[in-house]
Amino acid sequence: MDAATLTYDTLRFGEFEDFPETSEPVWVLGTQFSALTEKDEILSDITSRLWFTYRKSFLPIGGTGPTSDTGWGCMLRCGQMILGQALVCRHLGRDWRWVRGQRQREEYVSILNAFIDKKDCYYSIHQIAQMGVGEGKSIGQWYGPNTVAQVLKKLAVFDSWSRMAVHVAMDNTVVIEEIKRLCMPWLNFEGAGCSEAAAPREMNGCLEGACAMAEEETALWRPLVLLIPLRLGLTDINEAYIETLKQCFMMPQSLGVIGGKPNSAHYFIGFVGEELIYLDPHTTQPAVEPSEDGQVPDDSYHCQHPPCRMDICELDPSIAAGFFCKTEDDFDDWCARIRKMSCSRGSLPMFELVDSQPSHLISADVLNLTPDFSDSDRLERFFDSEDEEFEILSL
């Protein structure tokens, strides 16, 4: 059986290793635990993360396409997981916990509904696969971390309930000025109206639009989802980046990392010692149908066995790291942490943090593009490259 299509349907959950007994700290998305005294808390935290896996028997993608994503949708599911974590932080908070069988908060149900495998849900496999066509990926084709990041950025524009600003930092460079303008929309939209290209449409049963200017539009800060596609070596991860990667999981803003092995993607949420902790999408489960009252049978959206682990040196060098900054203070704190980390000895920075856009990077102004949908698409395609073509960072 091909490794890319191997599913846990062929295994027993009892075969998963229990969490190790170790005195080394366990880090999960910015929270530190002790494996000796807080094992239940660790498992509760990990179980509370949204777990998106292969599904089968959903309506055909595009009307005539596949009815299952087994064998090709693992990176798309990892993209759903990292964005799902951002939505949990946005609406429920990092410390929220899922309890099996307990009636959940309305915000949680709304988040889950956004990922149901139907064409009219914001972040469904249908939406991601079809939006990927604009990134040069045919439906059923495997994605890399960069492609899924670009697709999530486009889809988030229509989610006016969450109203998150998704920024994909290209060329291994995070530009503070760009992000602050993106997250403070009154700087960009003051006195401007919606273009015809941003006409509203039905999503999740509600009328939404790419330029839906709610009363919150003048808020001081739109919550930020920062995705940073990187390549940390040629065929294997450069060991000089390992400590820096670990420190990313220790930041309170951490959304984790999407990556894995060639043609087999995982969602990495933390580490213990020299092992990464991850959620694996390679389980094929039946598609879920919400009940008439909108509630979603949610047991299959939470991983209820000990999490998977792998040696950090086995990580494929092509990844995308994610961070969530709910407020401007969160972002300023993240910048301070990155700068401090960059100055520490014994580790190599994975990306550069700069105040303003370097002159060697081409901007929309240079290309003379107006910020409507069609031109934004052209600009994104200009920047987007195949995942194997990232600039290689080395000592």
Catalytic residues: 74, 280, 282
- Torsion, Cα of 344, 346, 347, 348 (10° steps): 90
Phi, psi of 127 (to 5 degrees): -65, -45
- Residues 378, 208: Cα–Cα separation, whole Å: 23
- Each as own residue / partner, the long-range contacts of residues 363-372 (CB below 8 Å, 24 or more positions apart, any chain) are 371/188, 372/195, 372/197, 372/198
The SS3 assignment for 39 reads: helix
Q: Which residues contact 166 (CB under 8 A, 6 or more apart)?
A: 152, 153, 156, 224, 225, 227
3-class DSSP state of 389: helix
CA distance 327 to 253: 11
Sign of CA dihedral 106, 156, 219, 374: negative
